[in-house]
């Protein structure tokens, strides 16, 4: 996995207005500019919070990214805990 590229994309969306606008307009367009595996690409494009979290995206990057997309705190916490609930 290229978690660095995933985190770089998320950081870019979080920090750069132009990139944020591009991502909000077309997630695929911005994601295509980064070297991502198919799983990473899908998680980014589909805003799969649990998968991104389980890949190792740092919460200090992930939470602002989800706020930009209107994800509430309870929904964010539920999403990142999905994998925890299924552990033995």
Residue carrying structure tokens 């998680």: 43
Question: Which one, of 31, 25, 27, 43, lies nearest residue 5 by Cα?
Answer: 31
Report the predicted TM-score, pTM, of the whole model to 2 decimal places. 0.88
Ordered structural domains, the chain, with CATH: 3-85 (1.10.700.10)
pLDDT one-digit tens code per residue, 31-81: 999 999 999 999 999 999 999 999 999 999 999 999 999 999 999 999 999
In this predicted structure, the answer to whether residue 88 has a pLDDT above a threshold of 80 is no
What CA–CA distance (Å, rounded) separates 28 from 44?
Answer: 9
CA distances from 33 to 19, 25, 27, 51, 84 (A): 11, 15, 11, 20, 32
When mean pLDDT is compared across 11-20, 54-63, 79-88, the lowest value belongs to: 79-88
């Amino acid at each position: 996995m290229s978690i660095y590229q995933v985190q770089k994309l998320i950081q870019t969306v979080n920090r750069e207005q132009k990139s944020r606008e591009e991502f909000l307009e077309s997630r695929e367009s911005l994601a295509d500019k980064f070297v991502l595996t198919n799983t990473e690409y899908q998680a980014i494009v589909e805003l799969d919070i649990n998968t991104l979290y389980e890949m190792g995206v740092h919460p200090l990057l992930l939470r602002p990214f989800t706020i930009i997309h209107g994800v509430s705190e309870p929904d964010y916490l539920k999403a990142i805990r999905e994998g925890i609930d299924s552990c033995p």
